[in-house]
Structures are given as structure tokens and as C-alpha cells.
Structure 1
Amino acid sequence: MTTTRLADPWPAPRAAGPVSAVVSLPGSKSLTNRALVLAALAEGPSVVRRPLRSRDTRLMAAGLVALGCGVDSDRDDWLVTPARLTGPARVDCGLAGTVMRFLPPVAGLAEGAVDFDGDAHMRQRPVGQVLAALRALGVDVPGDTLPFTVHGSGRVRGGPVALDASASSQFISALLLAGARFDDGVDIRHAGAPVPSLPHVEMSVALLREHGVAVDDSDVDRWVVTPGPLTPVDRTIEPDLSNAGPFLALAAVTGGEVTVRDWPRATTQAGDRLREILAEMGCDVGFTDEGLRVAGPEQLQGIDLDLHDVGELTPAVAALCALADEPSRLRGVAHIRAHETDRLAALSRELGALGADVTEHDDGLSFRPASLHGGVFHTYADHRMAHAGVIVGAAVDGVLVEDVATTAKTFPEFADFWAGLL
């Protein structure tokens, strides 16, 4: 694909009629970055096949290389070679929450100082619970926000630890992924409001078990990882199902038909919930030999949904609600205020500026049917906000998406790919 120079703001292409397309999506960011961390901690080389190649995953790979691991990312499949973890090192987190939260426990296993920093906005995103948990487990890491320094001693004592993961499930995954390498493993207890995005914790547990790690998650809000080696794994990364949101939405808003190739029949990805959501909005949803097929309805129905476990889908679903012919209510997602931006405030502001009848609540959004119009849709350096903007632009003339290039976080060349479908 030839990359074109993007205007900013970018004129989101309007669909001329029902869209009919079969698309192949890049690999899952969540799976790729977890796979890289586990491969770096394994007993021997691992292969990560069909990884996502994006800013977030390259930052994760670069962070692991800075700690001494080998990550050969020049080929289609990435070879990860574990090594003795050492400092001094510097880890650039960019805007990647997985890098900021998953690598400090790994840095605790290194010998030497490891400095962490990232883009300006990352200094506002929560990581203090992870750092406090590491201190309780014997790691020297002052501070509660970026920038911070992990003073590794080559080992982490581990053992029992309590934390409040109500702001992000990544706090739990961060300790899970490295826990088998701690001297006493790790016994994590969550104390607080319900953990959001639990499918991501289930994803971490499933991947650990594939590496031969014993994880007991039989008690609610408790995860116990037994210390021991991680077996190398040759893993193929699934397509990113959350990234499928805008593409399946094309079928929903144009009355068309879109198939996403290689959609897994069983998965821990939160994006799989799109099958249920789109069906509730009136779409015809089902598996074919190629993947998952969605056919859009004559009229897009409203919904009343708790998205607590799948908050990352909120921007795409909110865009659909703004275009629906019936009222909608999205709830249970107060935690997405601490994502790349305050997504609830941003969605209310930007969809409202295009004419949507939207009300912001503490934990979500509500919509009433309204006629939308063109205008500038700001993204706040948030790839999911850009997804919401292009969905509206497919159904409404004159939508201009500011900084659409931010989609490179999880889908390089997204804008060219999207325009090619329309």
C-alpha cells in the first residue's frame, strides 16, 4: 500500500452507498505486547507470529531490548531471545499504557537502574498502584507517576500483595506477567470497586498457562502465580478485534456487508463483544468460512449497555449510538476517563459539536436521535477517538478528523486502508 500525505484535519470519506468489503486486520496489540513480555522472560527463544507492527508494540520491543533481550523484528515473525536483564537503561513508554505498566515489574528483575518516561500526556495516566505494589514486593521504585526509576537488584522477593485495580486491569496483568519469575511468585488481591476490562486479565492468565505457568484464579479478586520457569512458545497473534469496530460499523451505518477475516471462534479479546452489540443494534451477525460477517440494518436500533468489561469499545459504539434511530445509554465506563484522554468528556464534546444529542454522565453517555452535520472532530492523540470520527464521517458529509495519524498506535496506515474501502 502506498502511503499518502494526510491533510490535517483529514476529510473523512463519506460512503456513497452500502459498503461491501472483506478485510484483514493487523494483529492484536494486547496479545502482541503480552506475548513479547512473556517471551522475554521465558527459558529460551520464542517466536511471535503475525505480530502487530505499530508504535505501541515497537515501544514494547525497544523497552525489552534496552533491558538486554533480543527482539528480531526485521522479519514477518519476531524472534524473541531472553537474556540476563541489566541496567542502566531507559524505557520510552510513548502513549502505551502496556509499556508503562508491564515493564516496571520486568525492570525489577534487572540489575541496575531503569528510567521510565513517555509522552507528556502519559505523565497524567495512573501507574501508582503498580509501583506501590512493587515496593511492597521488595522493589526500590520511588514515585507514583512518570517519570520514575526502577532500581533493580536482579531479583524480586514477591509474595502476597494487595492493590486497587479499579482504574485499570493492567495493574493486575503487570504483576501477573512477571510474577512467575519472582522468588515467591505473587499472590495478588484486588481491593476496591470492580476491576474494569476483566477479559484482559483473563487474556494474561491464559497466555501464562500456555507458557506452563500455574495460575490459580478460582477466588474472586485474587490471582496466585506459582514461581517457576516459563516454557518458550511459538505463538500466532489473533487479529485485533477491537480494531474491527470501525470496519464492522461501516456495515451498520451504510446498510452494507463487511466480513473480517480470521475472526477466532473462541478468544479472550474484549473486541469479541462487538458480535453481541451489533446484533442488539439490528445487524445480522454470523460466522462464515472467511471470518465474521456483519450486515447492516435498514434502521440502526438504540441500545442500553454496561460496557464495564469492554470499555475500549466505547468510542466506536458511541459513534453508532449517535447515528441510531432510537435512544441509547452506555454505562459502567467511568474508568475510560483515564485512558489516552478523558474519553467520556471527549466523546460528548466532539459528537455534540457534530449535532449529536448526547448527555455525559459520571459513568457513561446517553443519546437521543438527532441529525448530525459536518465539522472538525478532535482526537486528543487518541486512536479510538479517531475511530469514532471516521465512523460518523462515513455517514455524514463534511466530517474532518484532526490527527487521524494517531491511529498508528494500533493500525499503521489506517487512513489509507479506510479510504480504500470507501
Structure 2
Amino acid sequence: MPNRQVVSSHIESPIVTVPGSKYLANRYIALAALSSGTTRLSNLPENDDIEAALEAVKQLGATVTSVDNGVVDIEGIKNYELPQTATLNCRDSGTLSRFITAVASNLRSQVVVDASEQMRQRPMQEVSQSLRDLGVAVSSDALPISLKGPIQGGRVELDTSRSSQYLSGLLIACLKAKSDTYLILKGKTVSSSYIQLTKNAIELFGGKIEEVSETELKIPANQSLTPTNIHIASDVVSSSYFMAAGLLAETTVTLTAFDFESPQGESQFYRVLEAMGASIKAESDKLVVGYTDQLQGIDVDMGDMPDVVPTLVVLALFAKGETYIHNIAHLAFKESNRIVDLCDELNKLGVDIEYDADSIRIKGDQPLRPAHLSSCHDHRLAMSYALVGIKQPGIVVTDAQAVEKSFPKYWEFLENIGLHTELVN
């Protein structure tokens, strides 16, 4: 597995435009596959997750045509009964495994959904049981899963305390159910902003979700989705690494085409940085994050912006005082256990990091030592670890190719702003 060592850092007031959001792209691809006609997506991010999503909808009968760099046309599924069993490979994409399992259950023919060995360990019981309750034949509660629809609709209870992806997948899939679907939400819904992201995407395609109450959603049956042309907004999570890079380099970073209107919780990460002492300026679609003095540790609920927790933990290493991050139990069910794996790896630096099932506590401004930090095959960990090298020499990120999942050009982007890395054995 390729490893990368941070060699040097000379970052001075960079201007960065990050690629399109994979979170939005995953939703748009699924909805385009269920639409009647052709959807054009531009600024589509080029990464392993999106390649897997495009290939999956092709296997289900959608037509995918590459038009230009970052521009793809998707013609929706015409025949929901395929001549033979379709086998889908979600690779390392947990989002796709939940979304495509739900979407595939609209087909009247058999579909097998599989993924990498790592993804086979991630929970699927909530979505598989919900689909059974909605009339779909589902073989198991873990990947690989064999299923056969179509979704009949009805009334189903769904535990959303571990992941919002189950609900997002069902919201999309049940748009085509034979009768109205009522989803009763149980437990504390995590990452609720991602549910709003899904609702907004459905609305773009002309779909309707009705809120019966705070814990009950109605999806009217057999909806006709209208194809559309969409320019995908920049990825707000990817933006977080460059905000952090600028602060660690004690300079200013300007992010262009920043999506201030995104309901995604991570779009508000700059407010967390402001609470730590960063200077923040919003100028039209530009976000300017500036260093004024050493960051201060804070007490912060990150329940609605889980994917930037690794970025925040790295910043907290260099902040004055203690940082307490809580309401993050759902991080245990990401590409890695982002509580245990993140903290155990960063402890190799010789710092004081404590954690439990729902929180991380970091004592900042401690002396560090060089270390090999394993990405645990998690793209978010790999990208965050590289930032440590801005302050501490001798940082090696092992299994560094994990970034290909969401941001294959990440190392090139770092090079462009002045953070130099090289491949090592």
C-alpha cells in the first residue's frame, strides 16, 4: 500500500476551489436513475465512490454517457425487469450500499448488492428489514444482499440513531412504491442535515415528501420524477482541510464557490473555527478564513457535522487548552471507527487524547513526535493526518491512497497550496 510522507510546508494565502460534492452527486445519480428522461450533471466529482455509483445505476438499466470533463448524462431506467440478475459492486462506498440497495428494490427482477470486505462489516439491518416490511424479498442483513422487488409501500418503523443514510435511501426508493409509504422514525435521528440534503434533491426532480409529524413522513406513491440539469456545488467537507491548512500555517485561505446555502451541517464548520478564534469573512460565494492568534480549545456538539470531526481533532492538537467534542457516537459506523481509530493513531504522536463511545477530549498545545499514522483505509483520516505535517516533521500517512474514495487529487491540491509530500515505502 502506498504511504506518503509530508516533506515540507510553505503555505501563503492560497486560493482554493474544491471539486463538486460527492454527497450531492450520490443523491442526484440515484434520482436521475429513477427519472423519466435524461439528467445532465456538471461539476461531477471524479472519485471512486462516484465511479461506483455510475456503474451501479448502469447495471440497473440506466444509460450513462460521459459528455465532457465532469459532465455526465444519465437517462433513467426504462425497464424495471432485467433479463438476468444484476450484480452491483459498491466498492468502499457505505453511502452507495445503502442508497442503491433501496433503489434496486424497485426492480421486479433479482439484484445482488455487494461491496468491499470492509463495507461488508458495516450495518445494513435497518434498511434490509425496512424493505422487507415494504414487500421486498431481501436475503440477509449484511452485504452481499440479494433482493427482489418491487416496493409495495405501506407503513414501516425505522431506527435512524446509527445512520441517516438508511432514511435517505428509503425516501428516494419509495417515490416509486405501488402505494403510499409512511416512515415512522424511531430513536434520535443523527446527521439530520443530510436528510434535508436528500429532501432538497428530491424536490429538484419534482418529487414530494410530506411531513405528517416530527417523527412521521409520508411518501406519495408512484411519483413521476422529472429529469433536470444540475451544476453540483463544491464539497463543503473537502473545503475543511484547506481551512485547517491555512490556520495551521498561520495564514489566510480563500475558498471560492463555497456553498453557503447548503443544509449540510459541515457547511457551518467555519463557525466552529470562528469560535476557536479564527477570522471569518463571507464575500459573495467566497469564504475567507484567516489566522489571528493561536486557536482556543472549545466544547462543541458535532452531531450534525460528523465528517469534519477528524479535521477538528487535528486542529485541536495545536489549540490552547482542552477541546471536548461530543454527540458523535455515529462516527463508529463510518469507513473506520472514526472515534477509536482516529484517536489511537493520533496517540502515536505522544499527545493526550481520550475518548468514549460518544466523545473525544483533546489536550492541546503539547509537544509532538514523528509518527506513521494509518489511514485505516478511511479517506477522512488520511486527509486529516497530512495536515499534522504542517506543524510536525516526520509525519507519514500509511495506506495514503484511501483519499481516492472521495478526493483522488487531494495530494495534488496540497502540493498546489504549498504542502509537499512524497511517496515512501
Q: Assess if the C-alpha contact under 8 Å between 2:209 and 2:218 holds in 1.
A: yes
Identify the match of residue 135 of structure 1 among 123, 132, 136.
132
1:405 Cα shift? 1.4
Distance 2:204 2:160 in 1: 24
In the TM superposition, residue 45 of structure 1 has moved relative to its aligned partner by 0.9
After TM superposition, list the pairs within 5 Å mapping 1:222-241 onto structure 2. 222-227=216-221, 228-241=223-236
1:89 counterpart residue number: 86
212-221 or 395-404, larger mean C-alpha shift: 212-221
2:292 to 280, 297, 310: 297
1:178 aligns with 2:176: no
When residues 218 and 259 of structure 1 are mapped into structure 2, their CA distance, relative to the original with a 3 A threshold, is farther
AA in 2 matched with 1:92: N
1:264 Cα deviation after fit: 2.1
Structure 1 residue 8: Cα displacement: 3.4
| Structure 1 alignment gaps of length 5 or more | 1-6
What is the Cα deviation at residue 271 of structure 1?
2.1
Q: 262, 278, 281: which is aligned to 2:276? A: 281
Q: TM (normalized to structure 1)?
A: 0.95
- The partner residue of 2:197 within 203, 214, 220 is 203
Query: Residue 3 of structure 1 aligns with which residue?
Result: none
Look up the match of 2:36: 43
Query: Following superposition of structure 1 onto structure 2, how do residues 344-359 of structure 1 map, counting pairs within 5 Å?
Result: 344-359=339-354
Q: Which moved more, 1:78-87 or 1:19-28?
A: 78-87
The TM-score with structure 2 as length reference comes to 0.94
Cα pair 1:307 1:330 within 8 Å, conserved = yes
What displacement does 1:210 show?
1.7
| Deviation digits for residues 134-184 of structure 1 (CA, Å, limit 9, x no counterpart) | 0000000121001111123xx311121101111100010010012111112
Matched with 2:103 is 106
Is contact 1:9–1:376 with CA below 8 Å preserved after alignment? no
Q: Is it true that 1:161 corresponds to 2:156 in the alignment?
A: yes
Specify the code of the residue in structure 2 equivalent to 1:191.
Answer: K
2:247 maps to 252
Whole-angstrom CA distance in 2 between matches of 1:89 and 1:134: 18
Question: How far did residue 419 of structure 1 move?
Answer: 2.1
Q: Report the AA paired with residue 186 of structure 1.
A: T
CA contact (8 A) 1:63 1:91 kept: yes
Q: Deviations over 1:334-356 (max 9, x none)?
A: 11111101111111111111122
- Give 1:13 shift: 4.1
| Residue in 1 that maps onto 2:2 | 8
Q: Secondary structure at the match of 1:366?
A: strand
User: Which moved further from structure 2: 36-45 or 283-292?
Assistant: 283-292
Structure 2 match to 1:19: 12
Structure-1 separation of matches of 2:51 and 2:414: 23
Match of 1:363 in 2: 358
* Greater CA drift, 214-223 or 348-357: 214-223
Deviations 1:31-87 (A, max 9, x none): 001000101111211111111111001101100000110111352311010122324
The alignment status of 1:404 with 2:397, answered yes or no, reads no
| Counterpart position of 2:423 | none
Match of 1:80 in 2: 74
The CA distance in 1 between the partners of 2:322 and 2:263, in whole Å, is: 30
Write the mapping of 1:304-323 to structure 2, written as runs, cut at 5 A. 304-323=299-318
Shift in Å at residue 117 of structure 1?
1.2
* Separation in 2, partners of 1:21, 1:263: 15
Q: Are 1:71 and 2:68 counterparts?
A: no
